[in-house]
Amino acid sequence: MKILIVEDDFACLQIASVLLSSYGDVDAATNSDQAGDLMNKAIINGKPYDLMVIDINIPGSTGLELLCKFRAAEEQATISPSRKLVMSSVSSHDNIIGAARAKCDGFMVKPLTKDSLTAKLASLGFHPAAKAEV
């Protein structure tokens, strides 16, 4: 599985990267420009992301604006859409409603924990990758 994390807080990015690494290959972006570049490159290379985890407050544009740009890019490329999770340290009504309107697949409150992330990903049909036996 191919995963993109978009998070500008280094500590949160590291935690999310470690937690998600058992699910597949993780790429990270700290702003919307980097995220857009990674998304476009993945589409051009024929290996789009399966999962995107996007912070709601990132430099360059909001996570919700970025989510909409990603959806449009997937539609234009006529590829199956990735699953998208929005995360925020604030579970305000506006954030949750905004994420739902942007058609995200889930909303998570930071800080992410292994249990909360595992449960959310399982609800989307994702499970940790099986480790090869040596």
What's the CATH code of the domain at 10? Answer: 3.40.50.2300
Q: What digits encode the pLDDT tens for the residues 8-45?
A: 999 999 999 999 999 999 999 999 999 999 999 999 99
Assign 44 to helix, strand or coil: helix
Domain containing residue 64: 2-119
**Rounded to two decimals, what is the model's pTM?**
0.92
Does residue 131 belong to any structural domain of this protein? no
Kindly report each contact of residues 25-33 with a partner whose C-beta sits within 8 Å and lies 24 or more positions away, as own/partner. Answer: 25/1, 27/2, 27/3, 28/4, 29/4, 29/5, 30/6, 30/58, 30/59, 31/58, 31/59, 31/60, 32/6, 32/58, 32/59, 32/60, 32/61, 32/65, 32/66, 33/60
Does residue 127 belong to any structural domain of this protein? no
Q: What digits encode the pLDDT tens for the residues 48-74?
A: 999 999 999 998 888 999 999 999 999
- One-letter amino acid for residue 109 of the chain: V
Does residue 10 belong to any structural domain of this protein? yes
